[in-house]
Structure 1
Amino acid sequence: MADRNLSVITEFILLGLTDDPVLNTALSVLFLLIYIITVLGNLWIILIISATSQLHSPKYFFLSHLAFLDFCYSSVFLPKILINYLLGQKTISYHGCLLQYSFVNMFLTAECFLLAAMAYDRYLAICHPLHYRGLMTPTFCICLVSASYLLGCTNSLTHLRSLLNLTFCGPNAIDHYFCDIPLLFHLSCSDTRHSELLFMVLSGATSIATFLIVVSSYLGILITVLKKYSSRGSYKALSTCASHLTVVTLFYGTVISTYLGTSSSFPQDTEKILSVFYTLFLPVLNLLIYSVRNKEAKEAMRRMIKRKVFSQ
């Protein structure tokens, strides 16, 4: 019976953000621009960091991986959205849907842990400057990043296994622009209580654990700055954390609101808007925050552009 039910659903319909064809056309153009900016901008950041010896530090090592995650994250669903809009279709295969969510979950989880690692890096740099180089070694940095990816993969595979145990026998319309797991639970004709509990526990543990690391790191930074630095020194020390703190606030604010609230906390349209913010706009904001507000990154960009111009 389970096999027969599974064979009924071979694809899902992604309803997207709106049924208005004119608005869909405008959104497809906007999403294409966002995707081009995200891809080129994040690849540009990775190139600058790898090519500039002055940026070969833990801070920029983590930033290059954040740019890589944003690039991968956007590439999971934006091309599919654009193809669906351009071809006038809204379908995604059953296995494609599960894989799409799995990759979104993997990159989202990895970014949570990477942001926590970046907060810890700033804590060591400001609170323990004399021991910073000895503590934040290249090997330790690689271990932190590897752990972020490994935890992302583990979390994703756990959810994928849970989803594969569910049966889908109709309806198959997902009121969203990508395959989001709470909506898949609603469409399943299986008992989803175990899967939903697993989702809440893993999502809650990931969000709360990484958020506590970030908060405790910045509390430590604030206490140290107020105790040891003058007003001018305090401003300079805190300004080095401003970019990361802005990204963390935006990221956790939208993700926690979307996934840790109950399904009735927001109307579906509000959840879509929150999803648009953290899936489409946040990678672009990360790019702008870390490049426009970062003096070292801007200086490295200027030097690279000058070398390219004068070498021709």
Structure 2
Amino acid sequence: MDELNGSVVSEFVLLGLSGSWETKVILTITFSLLYLGIILGNFFVVFLIIVDSHLHSPMYFLLANLSFNDIGVSSTAVPRMITDLLTEHKVISFQSCMTQTCFIHALGGTEMVLLIAMAFDRYVAICKPLHYLTIMKPRTCVLLIVISGLKPILTIKAMDELNGSVVSEFVLLGLSGSWETKVILTITFSLLYLGIILGNFFVVFLIIVDSHLHSPMYFLLANLSFNDIGVSSTAVPRMITDLLTEHKVISFQSCMTQTCFIHALGGTEMVLLIAMAFDRYVAICKPLHYLTIMKPRTCVLLIVISWVTGGIHAITQFSFVINLPFCGPNKIDSFCCDFPRIIQLACSDAAKFEFVVAANSGILTIGTFLLLLLSYVFILVTVWKRSSGDLSKALGTLSAHITVVVLFFTPCIFIYMWPFPTSSVDKYMFIVDFTITPALNPLIYTLRNKDIKIATQRLSKWLHYDRFC
């Protein structure tokens, strides 16, 4: 840690949470009680699982490890946050900062793998109950815990050998304008983001609570709405806060993390749209085989494929960018980090990386878009042949999907087919993808969908009845 790089900075100042002395005291008490609850609650779960022999099963073994890891996750940051609230000299040494960062990423990575292990345990228990004890034997459980520990090792190694960059932070230029303009934009984007959260959560909630919507089409739509919340949350909250601040700085690690999440969730959305197009194809062109083809296992498989594809897409790009040297310019003419803009700031020749970005993001985007358009054309041609030229029903079914596809892919194609833009127009295209499209998706699917309208009416009647009974 002492020889991590050639930095002359030996300590960092953590600005933390600002406010009056009374506010800080209230926050200190609140976070102290929360941290006490974290420690006692998770230790109680671990203790109970250890002492009660009835809980000595794979499920509770994994749960105990998750609870123990949660204690570690909170302990990496919360105690220092509490002490810093009541002190003016909020300084952390370089070594301590690097150590804290490593532990945050290490324990966070462990948590992710543990959650996957717990999902696998539930899958075996529900889908293969007769083989549960054979598959989830003690050796398998220990192996899953060991695998979860590999992520921290790789994370710490990556943090130690991140790259030889001198640049440790980037400046996001964002949207410029007068103070009045920025206030208007802040209010506008805040309302849009609120609409995204409420609208998409409403779609997810409605599909979960209404049994009439428990079908493959709405299962995929719920996942799309949930993904839209994630897409917006990667950039919009920071964009809103940066509009009213002059010091728009993002650390190197945060910039890389944001970029990875943008591409992971963006890639996931593309595959989800393909899955929804496939669902419509089966429903319209093979209605008698719909429930056989789109069975629950197929739907879950499509969701898993979408997340895996998004992750692979992000990691592929990340592996090329993370080791680029950044030793000079650090201003990004956008409100968020993205690979084309970051590569422009690298000290090395970025020409060879232009092909990587175009091949990965650009071709993936245009290829997916063309595939979707071809699938819709094929569906319409099939319906036209079967119904003697009457396309009204098919167009009514597909219109919402086509609208969403065009809204999502048009900005992506513009941005990634020209991976090194010379103008700032692409950041306005980002605004469409991060704010406009996710905000319109719930409206498109609710206003143009009869089943959603009826389900909304049922929910409204149920709430009205429940209120007066």
- Whether 1:192 aligns to 2:347 is no
Q: Percent identity, aligned pairs only?
A: 38
TM-score by length of 1: 0.93
- Whether 1:29 aligns to 2:187 is yes
- Whether 1:99 aligns to 2:257 is yes
Contact 1:119 1:213 in 2 (8 A): no
Match of 1:121 in 2: 279
* Number of equivalent positions: 308
- Whether 1:301 aligns to 2:456 is yes
Contact 1:200 1:260 in 2 (8 A): yes
Partner Cα distance (2:452, 2:280) in 1: 17
Contact 2:200 2:225 in 1 (8 A): yes
Partner Cα distance (1:144, 1:10) in 2: 39
- Whether 1:17 aligns to 2:180 is no
Partner Cα distance (1:262, 1:201) in 2: 10
Match of 2:215 in 1: 57
> Which residue of the other structure, out of 260, 269, 272, is the alignment partner of 2:424?
269
Partner Cα distance (2:457, 2:246) in 1: 42
SS in 2 for 1:107: helix
Structure with higher Rg: it is 2
Contact 1:127 1:220 in 2 (8 A): no
Partner Cα distance (1:176, 1:208) in 2: 23
Contact 2:268 2:309 in 1 (8 A): yes
Unaligned runs of 5+ in 2: 7-162
Q: How far does residue 301 in structure 1 lie from its aligned partner after superposition?
A: 1.2
- Whether 1:239 aligns to 2:396 is yes
Which stretch shifts more, 284-293 or 68-77? 284-293
The structure-2 alpha-carbon separation of the partners of 1:262 and 1:157, relative to structure 1 and needing over 3 Å to count, comes to closer
Contact 1:204 1:260 in 2 (8 A): yes
CA-atom RMSD in angstroms:
1.8
Match of 1:282 in 2: 437
Match of 2:415 in 1: 258
Q: How far does residue 220 in structure 1 lie from its aligned partner after superposition?
A: 1.6
Q: How far does residue 6 in structure 1 lie from its aligned partner after superposition?
A: 4.2
Letter in 1 for 2:364: T
Deviation by residue 1:53-81 (Cα, 9 ceiling, x = unmatched): 11111111111011011000111111112
Which stretch shifts more, 241-250 or 186-195? 186-195
Partner Cα distance (2:381, 2:272) in 1: 23
Match of 1:225 in 2: 383
TM-score by length of 2: 0.63
Letter in 2 for 1:128: K
Matches within 5 A, 1:200-215: 200-215=358-373
Unaligned runs of 5+ in 1: none
Contact 2:325 2:347 in 1 (8 A): yes
Which stretch shifts more, 131-140 or 80-89? 80-89
Partner Cα distance (1:7, 1:112) in 2: 33
Match of 1:161 in 2: 319
Partner Cα distance (2:391, 2:309) in 1: 35
Partner Cα distance (1:259, 1:288) in 2: 27
